[in-house]
Amino acid sequence: MRTFTGVLAVLFLALLAAVLLQAKGAPRSGSDAGAVEGGEESAYLPVVEVMPEPVGGIGAIIKSVVYPDLARKSNVEGKVYLVAYINEQGGVDDVKIIKGLPAGCEEAAVKAVKEAKFSAGKQGGVAVKSQLSIPIQFKLK
């Protein structure tokens, strides 16, 4: 019963994310190159049985984020919300910005996620292309 409840929660969150993405319009690409292999975002599953995870956990990504000088000087704080497109090998094919921050925060978050290595998402025990929502918080100490 507990596993079933967990699966329902994951499905609900994925559905909520999809609805929010459609309501906000098309996300901006985190790269100048444009995109996920010819724009085929639908090939990346938003929900899989085993979701991809950053090697070293989300903390490893957070530690690799360099707070931009302009953002620090301007006292910019908040969260950047991203969707990472993870391939079958755990590499990051693209990153889309869902909600950003000014002063270089978006670029710093995208760079940290693109440099990260992930465990691949799995469906039926097989590694598949998948999507992962990632919030990156910028907070001055």
Whichever domain contains 52, its CATH number is: 3.30.2420.10
Question: Is pLDDT larger for residue 63 or for residue 6?
Answer: 63
Q: Strands of the chain (E only): list them.
A: 28-29, 53-54, 78-86, 92-99, 118-119, 121-123, 126-128, 130-138
Decide if 92 contacts 114 (C-beta within 8 A): yes
Please determine, for residue 124, whether its predicted confidence score (pLDDT) is greater than 60. yes
In a domain, 6, yes or no: no
Count of structural domains, the chain: 1
In a domain, 11, yes or no: no
Give the model's pLDDT for residue 136. 96
pLDDT tens for residues 1-57?
555 454 444 444 444 444 444 444 444 555 433 445 555 667 999 999 999 999 999
Average pLDDT, the chain: 82
In a domain, 50, yes or no: yes
Q: Quick one: what percent of the chain has pLDDT higher than 90?
A: 70
The boundaries of the domain holding residue 103 are 26-138
In a domain, 21, yes or no: no
In a domain, 73, yes or no: yes
